[in-house]
Amino acid sequence: MIRDIHDFSSPHFDVEQYIAHLGTLKDEDIFPAYGALALSCLTHDGLSPARYAHHLQSLEREVAAAYKGKADIEAQHLALKSVLCDECKYRVDDENPEDLQNASMMRVIDRGRGLPIALAILYIHAGRAQGWDVVAVNFPGHILCRIHHEGQRILFDPRSDCQIMTAPDLRRLLKATLGDEAELSVDYYDALDNRDVLHRLQNIIKFRQIALEDYEGALETALNMHIIDPQEYRLMLDLGVLYMRVDRLDAARDMLLRYIECAPHSRDRQEAELLLEQMHLQGD
């Protein structure tokens, strides 16, 4: 795995090769922060990734110093909070939440502002560098971080200055999202895989590019995610639709046919079959 800062500093560093390498790795061997940084490089040609990789390593050292080797889950949480939240002042950008900069790791580091998932990636990176069990949790309507240590668990909110989320807090958050009848479920505490974390970040970028009618940009975003996760069949449907949007109909047909071959259920295949029929009726 390319992880050392010197790889990012090397004049021979190739970001596209790095992203292709991610697609060959087991999920547990992926570092989401470095993956997000590499993806950010693709849209910031003038910025050197070395400086940002150095910042990630600086976070590792500062959290280690703040923790001081205490075998305590509360101390782990406090070390992360004191460095990323209190010292570095990382915050969610509530003023301009739709700004694409909030999903670009380079710009998040530059501005100290970003989406909750982008901030969660930084907390995960700094914590795992210490050997801690830190993950992102896809709680309904909300990204949380979870630390697990010796049978204890802490959930904290990267949106709210690392606030520890108690059961009443989680219940209120859930009901605000799903309605008063909703109740907590163990499924809501499941960790996102490393590829899922990158998917979540890139999907936000893709959806905003589509909203801006930047279909070429959305296609590029989806293609990069397909490289990182070539086994994710649902990306093939996205790519088929986006190829249609930019009038690359042969590529659209090929991708939709691949999706139909891979999709496990007939209901999953129906949309692609309808799109292929639409293309046929339009004379392609």
Q: Which amino acid is at 92?
A: V
| pLDDT tens digits along 160-206 | 899 999 999 999 999 999 999 999 988 888 999 999 999 999 999 99
- Whole-number Å distance between alpha carbons of 234 and 28: 21
pLDDT the model gives residue 284: 55
DSSP state of 95: S
Q: Which pLDDT band holds residue 4 (cuts at 50, 70, 90)?
A: low
| pLDDT tens digits along 89-140 | 999 999 998 999 999 999 999 999 999 999 999 999 999 999 999 999 989 9
The answer on pLDDT for 61 being more than 90 is: yes
| pLDDT tens digits along 234-273 | 999 999 999 999 999 999 999 999 999 999 888 888 999 9
Q: Which pLDDT band holds residue 1 (cuts at 50, 70, 90)?
A: very low
DSSP string across 139-201: ETTEEEEEEEETTEEEEEETTTTTEE--HHHHHHHHHHHH-TT----GGGGPBPPHHHHHHHH
* Dihedral over alpha carbons 103, 108, 113, 117 (to 10 degrees): 40
Residues facing residue 138 across a β-bridge? 143
pLDDT the model gives residue 265: 87
Return the percentage of the chain with pLDDT > 70, whole number: 97
The answer on pLDDT for 6 being more than 60 is: no
